[in-house]
Every structure is written in C-alpha cells, then in structure tokens.
Amino acid sequence: MNRIELDIVALSHSVTQSHNYAVVLGEIGGERRLPIVIGGFEAQAIAVAMENMSPNRPLTHDLFKNTLDTYDIVLKEIVINNLLDGIFYAQLVCEHNGETVKIDSRTSDAIAMSVRYDCPIYTFEFIMEAAGVVLDEGENERVIKSESKKSANKNSLENYSLKALNKMLDDVLADEDYEKAAKIRDEINKREAS
C-alpha cells in the first residue's frame, strides 16, 4: 500500500466543537489536507513543541520522549493507519537495538510525539480519499468546519467513499467484527443499488 507523507500546516480552534481544536495535515507535494479534531491538551502539547517552548515541568509527551530516549528507543515515524467511524488510528514506529516496533496510539498523541522527534507523518490513500479535502485559497475555515462535522458524526458511513468502505469491510472482517461488517456491507449495497 502506497504511503502519503504529511506535514502539519495548521493548528486552530475547532469551528464546531468549542473545547476542541483541529490539526490540519497537508500532503507533501500535493494539495490535499487532512483535518483532524483533537482535544485541548493535545493541541497544547503540539503547539508547545512546534514553538520550541520549555515548560517549567515536562508535559506528558516530553516525559514519554525522555523515557524512550533513556532506553535508546528512537521514534522513526508515525503512521495514521486507519479511519473507522470518523475516528483516526495511528501507530508510533520505533526502533530499538535494530528492531522495529509498532505501538498503537491516539493520532493526536502520535502527532505530538512526531513534533518532538521531528519525524515524518504518513497515511494511506484510502484515508485521504475518505477524509482529505482540497482547499482553495480562503477556504480553510469552511472546509475545516465541514470536516469537523463529519468527525463529530462518528456513526455515519455516508461520509466515506465506496473504495474506503470496501477497505473498512476487509479490515473489520479480519478483526471478526461482524456487526460492523454488516453495517458497512449494507451501505455498500445501498450505493451499488442506486
């Protein structure tokens, strides 16, 4: 599966969710953006690292980085590897003594760690197809608002492309989540019938 490299292009208040923020990741060498709604603490952790600020006491992500560094574990990259029901999933790809280890993570925490390690962020085409947007000049706020609404509506499969639905179906079947598979199959059948 081809990976797409992303970079942080914006961090702002979420238009639709008052206590949340949106981190907007941009496709390197492309025009698509991937807006992700995150919590206030995670937004603060990302902003502190991006601005090279030094808080009096280490934040949780700084503590985790210090722990990894103490045990010679290096964060090589993060991968936003799935999108299910409007929720993004990520992994930290670490290296220790020449061995690669993948650690599941909330996407917001993974992004906060990537800023601290200055490591690349990747995702896959099916995620960009399902949640990525192309922003015209001056459209940032409107599109982020639209995408935030999609993320808030976590139970709706209508926001996904047919290709993304088929990928999700394969994933949930592999996890033996037959209830979710039935819902995805019904959405696919509804679209193919129209």
Query: pLDDT digit of tens for each residue in the chain (194 aa)?
Result: 789 999 999 998 766 566 788 999 999 999 999 999 998 888 989 998 998 888 888 889 999 999 999 999 999 999 999 999 999 999 999 999 999 999 999 999 999 999 999 999 999 999 999 999 987 655 444 444 444 444 434 346 776 777 777 778 777 677 766 667 667 777 888 878 87
Strand bridging mode 20-27 / 3-13: antiparallel
Strand bridging mode 32-39 / 133-134: antiparallel
pTM, rounded to two decimals: 0.69
* Structure-block tokens of residue 65: 């980085």
Separation of alpha carbons 150 and 147, rounded Å = 5
